[in-house]
Chains A and B, each alone.
Chain A
Amino acid sequence: MQIFFLTVLLAASPVADDAALQASLERGEQLFAMTCATGYCHAVGGGAGGGGARLAARGFTQDYIRTVATEGRAGTAMPGFKDRLSAAELDAVVAYVATLNGIERPDIGAAGDAAATAVSALSEPAEKGRVLFHDSLRGFARCATCHQVRGSGVPAAEPITRVPADARELHALATPNVATVTIEGESMPGLVVSRGERGVLFYDLTLPPPVLRTVAAGGVAIEPGSRWRHADVIRSYSDAELLLILEYLREISP
């Protein structure tokens, strides 16, 4: 635990300015790589090539970069990104492209605030937990298959409001909302989302990933309780990994 506090303290210290700039530029570089340096358009690092213009060492001012990135350039394939990137993302990209044009400490605007938040947001274990939560190598055996956190993942389960204390509690988690749903003689664990005149909407939890199914109200029977167990769907994680995930959830819980 001491390590976590140290990280948070560091981020809150005067070093934060530099850290925020660094984080913003890293985010900008990442966004640039994903959104701009596609090979279809601009080149990696703003170099020559691609279908679009070279962006490095052109002597662009930050204002010019901001205008073109925000509004696009009429008569070219360059679109405006004001509706495609958030203000903070746009700030980060503009700041990064500014550094490609010799501006060493560009204005990072709102990106600075976002980056500062990001820097102080997660401890090292929690960051590991975040990666585990969304781990694509686990396929459908990852937490994000049923849980959405910070806008990422499938919101089959209710938002996580109480974080279990340890791995044992996570395994033994009570899931009173999971019922037994019976359709045409077949019973399955189901998480009912809504019941109305148009039908019953529920997640079929027979096996991951959950399937959101709609059935006519008359054709379905719902009994409370189920044989479904949370422990069965988190088997790909070791207890040590679950602790990291819990740390992540604790740090981001309001």
Chain B
Amino acid sequence: MPDSNQELDARGLNCPLPILRAKKTLNGMAAGEVLKIMSTDPGSVKDFQAFATQTGNQLLDSSEVNGEFHFFLKKGD
């Protein structure tokens, strides 16, 4: 599990809110920093992959933990 600089609790939120909140949080972070996102929306698994490929932020890890989805996004340059 990668280390994270900041956490975002997106549990209980539905599409597109986890992505929008993540984007907003990343805006306030420096390049290279890692954001951990916790979500309960099953659609967010594919969506965070797509978000990463389209925005240049790197998805370091994506996993399911006790019915929750955890993502580690490294902010791009």
Interaction A to B:
no
